[in-house]
């Protein structure tokens, strides 16, 4: 593995990580050991995307777009009742369906829809309908007793990731059946990684915009700035062996390493965007994913992981727009 240190990160990344570490991750330890043992044997994705029927509220004007909020029951039965209802926001340019649809997943600790609306609303005005999913365990889906987006156990985080994939696959299947010509999935940071994982597990071509994401989440959680939010000695319990806890966390998260899966059906419709001064995601991980997804495009922005959200909206929107332009229309996929 290429040597990497977050010390060369953008100053905004370092400041953000310093503030975020006040809300520690995994303060209640590993959590459900039976679940962790199960995923350590093999990942637990459903063999096919589930069928869901979202229930949509009335459309209403919202900042120059039309907005509908919807819900459906998560296809992941392991989620506790407060977490089990999936929430999704649908943004469109008119009070009708657009030409293309893109599901946009949330980043780590990103609760609600405000950030994604701010970043990607220009695409809506171009005729791209956006579907913003609320992550399990975030926002209105927090379990009782959880404060903010700091998940209390590792098993909660595993369930969140499984839920993100299954809910995105199910929603994409509903969108395909609803008649959208082009379908895509996108996300930033954890959202970008989970978007990529969803794409490789979806049974048809998808546009993919994996933004500030890499092939494996392991270095993000064990060596990058996000690791500042984890007390590894506390995670290991009575033994207080921080390195042992770090290695176990890495083994669990590496089970979903994207290089262990085939590329998506149409890798030429995948755009990867990396930040040159990223203190959370090592550049080597994005290069590894690009090499594994032959024909994908790798783009760079001269920013940090956090600062890119503030300064690179044009580049982020362009990655989503261009990936959708490259994916085969649904009519051609069915031919």
- Average pLDDT (26-37) is 94
| Other Cβ atoms closer than 10 A to 182 | 23
Structure confidence by residue, pLDDT tens digits, 59-79: 999 888 999 999 999 999 999
Share of the chain residues as helix, strand and coil, in percent rounded to the nearest 5 = 45, 20, 40
Residues 331, 141 contacting (CB under 8 angstroms): no
Residue 331 has pLDDT above 80, yes or no: no
Residue 41 has pLDDT above 90, yes or no: no
Structure confidence by residue, pLDDT tens digits, 107-119: 999 999 999 999 9
DSSP codes joined into one string, 280-291: SS-HHHHHHHHH
Total-model pTM: 0.94
Stated as kind and residue range, the H or E segment containing 332 is helix 330-334
Structure confidence by residue, pLDDT tens digits, 184-236: 999 999 999 999 999 999 999 999 999 999 999 999 999 999 999 999 999 98
Structure confidence by residue, pLDDT tens digits, 134-179: 999 999 999 998 989 999 999 999 999 999 999 999 999 999 999 9
pLDDT value for 21: 86
Residue with tokens 């915009």: 209
34-48, 241-255, 259-273: which has the minimum mean pLDDT? 34-48
| Other Cβ atoms closer than 10 A to 96 | 9
Residues 41, 249 contacting (CB under 8 angstroms): no
pLDDT value for 193: 98
pLDDT value for 99: 86
1-15, 58-72, 242-256, 279-293: which has the minimum mean pLDDT? 1-15
Residue burial 126-158, b: 16+ Cβ < 10 Å; e: rest: eebbbbbbbbbbbbebbeeebeebbbbbbbbbb
| Rounded-to-integer distance, Cα 335 and Cα 3, Å | 47
pLDDT value for 335: 38
Burial class (CB in 10 A: 0-12, 13-18, 19+), 108: buried
Residue 333 has pLDDT above 70, yes or no: no
| Rounded-to-integer distance, Cα 316 and Cα 107, Å | 14
Give the helix ranges, DSSP H, for 125-179: 154-178
* 38-47 long-range Cβ contacts below 8 angstroms, 24+ apart: 39/158, 39/252, 39/255, 40/251, 40/252, 40/255, 42/255, 43/255, 43/256, 44/162, 45/162, 45/165, 45/166, 45/201, 46/75, 46/166, 46/169
Residue with tokens 């008649």: 179
Could you tell me the maximum CA-CA distance found in the chain, to the nearest angstrom? 60
* Residue 163: C-alpha distances to residues 41, 135, 221 (Å): 19, 8, 19
Structure confidence by residue, pLDDT tens digits, 88-134: 999 999 877 778 999 999 999 999 999 999 999 999 999 999 999 99
Question: How would you classify the pairing of strands 65-73 and 55-56?
Answer: antiparallel
pLDDT value for 334: 45
80-84, 104-108, 262-266: which has the minimum mean pLDDT? 80-84
| Rounded-to-integer distance, Cα 271 and Cα 269, Å | 7
Q: Which residues contact 260 (CB under 8 A, 6 or more apart)?
A: none
Residue 330 has pLDDT above 90, yes or no: no
The domain 6-334 is placed in CATH, from the list 3.50.30.50, 3.40.1180.10, 3.30.413.10, 3.40.50.1820, at 3.40.50.1820
Burial class (CB in 10 A: 0-12, 13-18, 19+), 174: buried
Which of 289, 288, 303, 311 is CA-nearest to residue 210?
289
- The domain locations on the chain are 6-334
Residues 98, 179 contacting (CB under 8 angstroms): no
pLDDT value for 97: 77
Cα pseudo-dihedral 305, 309, 313, 315, rounded to 10: 0
pLDDT value for 239: 80
């Amino acid at each position: 593995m290429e040597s990497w240190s977050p010390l060369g990160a953008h100053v905004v990344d370092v400041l953000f990580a310093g503030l975020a570490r006040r809300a520690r991750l995994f303060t209640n330890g590993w959590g459900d050991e039976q679940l962790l043992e199960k995923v350590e044997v093999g990942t637990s994705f459903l063999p096919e995307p589930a069928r869901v029927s979202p229930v949509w509220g009335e459309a209403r004007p919202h900042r120059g777009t039309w907005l509908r909020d919807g819900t459906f029951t998560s296809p992941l039965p392991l989620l506790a009742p407060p977490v089990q209802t999936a929430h999704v926001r649908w943004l469109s340019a008119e009070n009708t369906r657009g030409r293309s649809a893109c599901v946009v997943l949330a980043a780590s600790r990103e609760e609600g829809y405000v950030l994604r609306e701010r970043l990607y609303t220009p695409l809506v005005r171009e005729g791209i309908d956006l579907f913003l999913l609320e992550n399990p365990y975030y926002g209105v889906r927090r379990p009782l007793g959880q404060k903010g987006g700091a998940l209390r156990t590792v098993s909660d985080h595993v369930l969140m990731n499984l839920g993100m994939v299954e809910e995105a696959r199910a929603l994409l299947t509903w969108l395909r059946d609803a008649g959208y010509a082009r379908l895509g999935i996108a996300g930033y940071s954890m959202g970008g990684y989970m978007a990529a994982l969803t794409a490789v597990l979806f049974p048809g071509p998808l546009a993919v915009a994996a933004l500030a994401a890499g092939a494996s989440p392991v270095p993000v959680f064990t060596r990058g700035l996000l690791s500042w939010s984890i007390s590894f000695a506390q995670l290991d319990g009575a033994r207080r062996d921080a390195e042992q806890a770090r290695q176990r966390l890495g083994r669990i998260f590496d089970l979903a390493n994207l290089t262990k899966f085939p590329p998506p059906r149409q890798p030429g419709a995948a755009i990867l965007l990396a930040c040159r001064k990223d203190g959370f995601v090592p550049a080597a991980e994005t290069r590894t994913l690009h090499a594994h997804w032959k024909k994908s495009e790798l783009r760079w922005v001269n920013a940090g992981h956090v600062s890119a959200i503030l300064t690179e909206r044009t580049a982020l929107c362009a990655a989503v727009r261009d990936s959708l332009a490259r994916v085969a229309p649904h009519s051609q996929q069915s031919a």
